[in-house]
Chain A
């Protein structure tokens, strides 16, 4: 069976004279997988995710999504289904509701029905944001709340793969625990495919079975 995501012999460095971030790196991700990649700061964890969704152009090797090279998929189409959530959440000026719904105005998401206020409110609860009014200015939320909102915004588009870039790096321990609880639930209850990179000491709970890797010396090794 074709893997959902296949990285084959990936090589990459930011400049020809710079030491390579990846050399002959391969990874196969199946539907419903929970991939956990750890590694020291600056080892290329974020770059790996950004290469998958084409925020960084690939140099050598191949990245296939459902058997198709990502370069052969229109960028907007790829990023609608393989959603990258950045380390630092970015909110657009406007309300919480605006921030959750603006992606539905993009041409590639036009076929999707935007959720109602009731649906949004019930989802806010599941993301531990039940006290947040939909009309509140999103920029006034704490970083932890914005991170959960960014996750919720991505989930509303029903992605096939969620790429999470250090989702708890700027959060206190309580907020970090909330984010990982949400991520685990997305994987265990909704069968969402998750690829997350972190250098935190996150210990998965018993309800998920992550495939853990360590990124060091330009290689991805099972941890």
Chain B
């Protein structure tokens, strides 16, 4: 049996706006103040995804290594800006190390996943490399933001204890070991929890998409397993590397804490 994909027409797409109308009504009736955000979010969803659709169609047709890597770099840069917008720390500069760590880790993970595990040839084949890379970036971006928020927050909150340890001979790594552990763990927990619930509590986006597009569910789960494992690996690597580098920047040349309580 050849599975048939039911195409969504323009009018059917507009019909989906009924969900948004419902959300707008709730926000209006209960004075949630979210009407503007819902409108902008809806508009951006349409605009960004249509743009991406056209861009991907073009990139899949051209099949150029540098164009593929360029798109990948743009995705990583965007992720760094989103992290910066969410973390909002002004006393320590962390944008460049965060971007470099994210870019290198994402690239290594995406290359390994597409080129070695899935066995795509060439490894940068955009149809595989970009969706895989996008998923790594999307998930690890949240992990990095959570880790950095936790790192900065605890370094401020626990400044007294941090100084006490430093004053008794601890180096900055020893003084902040507990904070480091908490920050990295906080970033990793969502992807570990996702492994616990996958298939039981929810059907992940990629698998749902494949199944809806007519793929064999048994084939779709294999991809999903690769994705889940890849995400744990990439969130671990990005969280650890980013927190390691940024933590160093939170201390001065005399290893004194730079963040005020």
Contact = CB atoms under 8 A, between A and B. Distances in A.
Nearest to A74: B171
Interface residues of B, number: 18
Contact of A53 (B161, B167, B172): B167
A215 interface: no
Contacts of A108: 169-171
Interface stretch (A76-84, A186-194, A206-214): A76-84
A57 B254 contact: yes
Contact of B168 (A54, A55, A106): A106
A85 B174 contact: no
A86 B163 contact: yes
Most chain B beta-carbon neighbours within 10 Å: one of A53, A55, A157: A55
B256 interface: yes
Interface in A110-152: 150
Contacts of A86: 160, 163-164, 167
Interface residues of A, number: 29
B256 A107 contact: no
A37 interface: no
Contacts of A56: 256
A79 B166 CA distance: 7
B193 interface: no
Contacts of A107: 171, 174
Interface of A: 53-57, 71, 75-77, 79-80, 83-86, 88, 90, 92, 102-103, 105-109, 150, 153-154, 157
Interface in B225-260: 252-256
A86 B256 CA distance: 14
Given A86-B163, A86-B164, A103 B169 contact: yes
Contacts of A53: 167
Interface of B: 160-161, 163-172, 174, 252-256
Given A83-B167, A106-B174, A57 B252 contact: yes
Contacts of A77: 169
A103 B170 contact: yes
27 contacts: A54-B256, A55-B163, A55-B166, A55-B167, A71-B254, A75-B171, A75-B254, A75-B256, A76-B166, A76-B169, A76-B170, A76-B171, A79-B169, A80-B168, A80-B169, A83-B167, A84-B167, A86-B167, A90-B161, A92-B165, A103-B169, A105-B174, A106-B165, A106-B174, A108-B169, A108-B170, A109-B169
A56 B169 CA distance: 16
Contact of B255 (A75, A88, A92, A154): A75
A55 B255 CA distance: 8
Given A54-B256, A56-B256, A92-B161, A79 B167 contact: yes
Nearest to B166: A79
Q: Which 8 A-B pairs have the closest CB atoms?
A: A54-B254, A80-B169, A103-B168, A75-B255, A90-B160, A90-B164, A108-B169, A76-B171
A108 B168 CA distance: 10
Given A71-B254, A92-B165, A103-B170, 8 more contacts: A56-B256, A75-B254, A75-B255, A76-B171, A79-B167, A80-B168, A154-B168, A157-B168
A88 B160 CA distance: 9
A164 to B, nearest CB: 12
Contacts of A71: 253-254
Given A86-B160, A88-B160, A92-B161, A55 B254 contact: yes
A6 B250 CA distance: 29
A128 B171 CA distance: 31
A56 B166 CA distance: 12
Contact of B166 (A75, A88, A154): A75
B195 to A, nearest CB: 31
B174 to A, nearest CB: 5
Contacts of B167: 53, 55, 79, 83-86
A57 B258 CA distance: 10
Contacts of A76: 166, 169-171, 255
